[in-house]
Amino acid sequence: MRTALNITSILVVGIVLGLIARSWRTPRTVEGPGPDEIVYTPDVAPGEAIKTDDQPITNNDVVRPPEDEAWLSRFELVERSGEAVSSEDLLGQPYVVSFFFSTCPSICVQQNQKLKELQDEFEDRGVRFVAISVDPETDTPERLREYAARFGADEEQWLFLTGDLTYIRRIGAEIFQQPVDKKFHTERFVLVDPAGKIEGMYSWPEPRQFERLKSSIESMLDKT
């Protein structure tokens, strides 16, 4: 009788210990958000939108790089005039960087129309615009001169640059964290301060961001 009782006790203890060990090994299930809960979605890049069943959600935050990063520095490309232009030549004034190629039939045209709007608004106020071609094989200085004339680009204020494609792609990747070439059209302007540091990136198709870009330029000019 005592032996049977001991065996039963051992079995009970073994079952209890087994259940405890199993609970430690089994991952805890966490309930996901309900249909009415708001969820933060960092995957939505500023200026881009995702669609839900009800309506699109747009992230209108301006992209700002880490303050200690010296982005877009120490580069040298060739301007449509045939002269070399380096990042050091641009120091002392705020400037707006964009990427394009001259045979682009749609986005680049709209983008340059926005730059023309900025050029007219900030004429003779010490702001420059730097348009970098992602198709340097086609966009020679001579071709860029013809292309720039289509938009009434001021030779001193609005620069059109070309150069080594590999290096231009590297600049695009470092700034935008995505490839920049003829197959991909970024819709962001990069605002650089007079010290050569990135102030922010603005999606020009978004009216609010475009206006915020103008305000940021004004703020920089007030400080100079």
Q: Binding site membership: which residues?
A: 104, 108, 185
Count Cβ atoms within 10 A of the Cβ of residue 169 and give its class: 0-12 exposed, 13-18 middle, 19 or more buried. Answer: middle
Adjacency order of strands within the sheet including 188-192 = 84-86, 76-79, 158-162, 128-133, 95-100, 188-192, 198-203
Q: How far is CA 2 from CA 7, 111, 202, in A?
A: 9, 91, 82
Residue found by looking up tokens 């209890």 in the block: 16
Distance (Å, rounded) from C-alpha 65 to C-alpha 71? Answer: 8
Tell me how far apart the alpha carbons of residues 97 and 191 are, in angstroms, rounded to a whole number.
6
Side chain identity at residue 195, one-letter code: A
Tokens of 49: 């939108």
3-class DSSP string for 28-52: CCCCCCCCCCCCCCCCCCCCCEEEC
Q: How many Cβ atoms sit within 10 Å of the Cβ of residue 144?
A: 25
Q: Which residues are annotated as a binding site for Cu cation?
A: 104, 108, 185
Q: How far apart are CA 61 and CA 196, in angstroms?
A: 22
